[in-house]
Amino acid sequence: MASSLLPEIGQIVRVIRGQDTGKHAVIIGVVDQRYVWIADGSKRKFDEPKKKNLIHLELLPVISTEVSDSIRTTGRVTNGKLRFALNKYVIPSSIEAQEKGE
């Protein structure tokens, strides 16, 4: 399932289990083969990320280069960049789903 892919910093994920089920977030850190740190820039800020088990996440095939580059160069990313990355991916995909009648 979701654990077959390796998580990457900057990757967009959908939460499939837990309190935030159905919401999207960005991976801002990889703990080990099972856990990652996620944040969305609004409810879950960069300074207070959520540690999630990979089996509770759906790894989407989208990586935000803005987020990954920022974390690699400075070790941080702004909450605005996290929101921008999510809006860039999540809003267009939900519009496509509506157009297809899903």
**Predicted structure pTM score:** 0.86
Indicate the number of domains in the chain: 1
pLDDT tens digits along 68-99: 999 999 999 999 999 999 999 876 665 655 56
Using DSSP's 3-state secondary structure scheme, residue 82 falls into helix
The structure tokens listed for 94 are: 């939900």
CA distances to 19, 26, 36, 72, 95 from 9, rounded to whole Å, are 22, 8, 9, 9, 26
The structure tokens listed for 2 are: 């979701």
Give residue 90's pLDDT: 79
Full domain range(s) for residue 33: 2-100
| Beta strand pairing call for 50-53 and 35-39 | antiparallel
Query: Residue 21 is part of a domain; what is its CATH number?
Result: 2.30.30.30
Give residue 15's pLDDT: 97
Radius of gyration of the chain from its Cα atoms, rounded to whole angstroms = 13
The structure tokens listed for 21 are: 């089920």
The percentage of residues in the chain with a pLDDT greater than 90, rounded to a whole number, is 80
Q: Reply yes or no on whether the pLDDT at 65 is more than 90.
A: yes
Q: Reply yes or no on whether the pLDDT at 63 is more than 60.
A: yes
